[in-house]
């Protein structure tokens, strides 16, 4: 059945629920810069607000374009890295995955292939000409999603990936919901079904700069990750094998550490392989399906505090090691080295080829679900 599509003008500036009267409003992008049609699907820019946060999102790739939160003094800043026009996302200079939904298989698939029930499937080798990264050439970040509904604080997307598209089996039916809450949470929820066995590992790929886009680096942020193990990788970011303990390594964030404290320990082969942090942490979960705290990030200068909660077994922390000044953000600043970080809740990299990892195989009659919550607040110490 064809789903109803509802379009609201993003030019309407919504009132932020808990902000005091007279406080500065978010400096929103004009909706006209995103109005277009891609693959016969209308594309637009939508504005959501709740609590103290305001977000703009486009249905091209389900991308978060701006996300405004207050610092400890109540001053708003856009704390995600984005682009100013839709054309800059369609034909990107530099980083491709800014603010996007990534899938159908986030992270990497080694050798750009996998086998299900004795049948080998080949998918795009868009990572170093060898592996698959974040789904392929036309992953979930690079297609227009149908907008099912939109309200003041929530937008629901839908996409049907056809069987055989970029080599993946099965008609994969995906619904994705972005919502903002009065508790200053950005909640991402996925559900998916299929008519053939197929791998599914969807994730969200916003890049955060807690001082505001284009201001400083992430190296002074204080981080915790609730994980006793991480996934070692080779020089092409494919897992070497078994997960390893973080004990005694630069990957131990079980207690708070500044990100820059050990990020240049190049005598550690894992730091050298990724030019910093770009690894999966195996979360210390107390349940299989509940949403639990995975990670926190605190910027002492602004006071902004980010908590990441999820029901997934892993989280990929990427410290922006490959930004090199190529590409310009919403603020007009270039995408500089380590100027933002990504926190992608997920199953583990190369899981379709790793029976020892939690399975990402979705079968007919099953429903894939995934919840990720980014919760924003401020603290002084």
**What are the tens digits of pLDDT across the range 129-149?**
999 999 999 999 999 999 999
| 366 in catalytic set | no
Boundaries of every domain in the chain: 31-205, 212-370
Catalytic residue among 88, 344, 347, 370: 344
The CATH fold assigned to 212-370 is Beta-galactosidase; Chain A, domain 5 (2.70.98)
Q: What is the DSSP string of 27-65?
A: -PPPGGGG-EEETTEEE-EEEEEETTEEEEEETBTTEEE
Catalytic residue among 205, 279, 347, 370: 205
Indicate the pTM of the whole model: 0.93
Stated as kind and residue range, the H or E segment containing 100 is: strand 100-102
Q: Assign residue 275 a region: left if phi > 0, alpha if psi is -120 to 50, beta otherwise?
A: left
**What are the tens digits of pLDDT across the range 304-333?**
999 999 999 999 999 999 999 998 999 999
The CATH fold assigned to 31-205 is Beta-galactosidase; Chain A, domain 5 (2.70.98)
Q: Assess whether the previous peptide bond of 104 is cis (omega < 30° from 0).
A: yes
Pair type for strands 146-150 and 154-161: antiparallel
Digits of tens for pLDDT over the chain (381 positions)? 434 333 333 333 333 334 444 455 788 999 999 999 999 999 999 999 999 999 999 999 999 999 999 999 999 999 999 999 999 999 999 899 999 999 999 999 999 999 999 999 999 999 999 999 999 999 999 999 999 999 999 999 999 999 999 999 999 999 999 999 999 999 999 999 999 999 999 999 999 999 999 999 999 999 999 999 999 999 999 999 899 999 999 999 999 999 999 999 889 999 999 999 999 999 999 998 999 999 999 999 999 999 999 999 999 999 999 999 998 999 999 999 999 999 999 999 999 999 999 999 999 999 999 999 999 999 987
Say how far apart CA 72 and CA 248 lie, in whole Å.
Answer: 34
| 344 in catalytic set | yes
Residue 85: its pLDDT value, please? 97
The residue behind tokens 């090199």 is 324
């Amino acid at each position: 059945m064809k789903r109803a599509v509802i379009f609201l003008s993003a030019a309407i500036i919504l009132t932020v629920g808990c902000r005091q009267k007279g406080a500065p409003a978010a400096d929103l992008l004009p909706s006209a810069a995103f109005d277009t049609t891609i693959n016969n699907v209308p594309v637009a820019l939508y504005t959501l607000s709740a609590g103290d946060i305001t977000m703009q999102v486009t249905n091209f790739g389900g991308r978060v374009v701006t996300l405004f939160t207050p610092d400890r003094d109540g001053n708003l800043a856009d704390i995600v890295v984005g682009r100013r026009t839709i054309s800059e996302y369609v034909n990107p200079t530099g980083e491709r995955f800014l603010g996007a939904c990534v899938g159908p298989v986030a992270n990497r698939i080694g050798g750009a292939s996998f086998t299900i029930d004795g049948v080998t499937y080949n998918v795009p080798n868009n990572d170093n000409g060898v592996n698959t990264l974040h789904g392929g050439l036309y992953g979930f970040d690079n297609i227009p999603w149908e907008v099912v509904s939109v309200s003041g604080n929530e937008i629901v997307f839908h996409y049907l990936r056809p069987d055989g598209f970029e080599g993946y089996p099965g008609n994969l039916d995906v619904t994705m919901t972005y919502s903002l809450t009065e508790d200053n949470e950005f909640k991402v929820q996925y559900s998916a079904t299929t008519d053939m066995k197929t791998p599914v590992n969807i994730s969200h790929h916003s890049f955060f700069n807690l001082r505001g886009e284009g201001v400083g680096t992430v190296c002074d942020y204080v981080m915790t990750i609730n994980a006793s193990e991480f996934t070692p990788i080779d020089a092409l970011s494919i897992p070497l094998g078994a997960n390893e303990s973080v004990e005694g390594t630069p990957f131990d964030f079980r207690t708070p550490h500044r990100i820059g404290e050990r990020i240049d320990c190049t005598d550690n082969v894992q730091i050298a392989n990724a030019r910093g942090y770009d690894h999966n942490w195996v979360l210390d979960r107390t349940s299989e399906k509940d949403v639990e705290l995975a990670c926190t990030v605190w910027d002492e200068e602004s006071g902004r505090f980010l908590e990441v909660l999820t029901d997934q077994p892993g989280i990929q922390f990427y410290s922006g090691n490959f930004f090199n000044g190529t590409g310009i953000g919403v603020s007009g600043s270039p995408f500089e080295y380590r100027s933002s970080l990504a926190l992608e809740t997920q199953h583990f990299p190369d899981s379709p080829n790793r029976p020892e990892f939690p399975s990402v195989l979705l079968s007919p009659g099953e429903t894939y679900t995934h919840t990720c919550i980014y919760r924003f607040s401020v603290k002084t110490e």
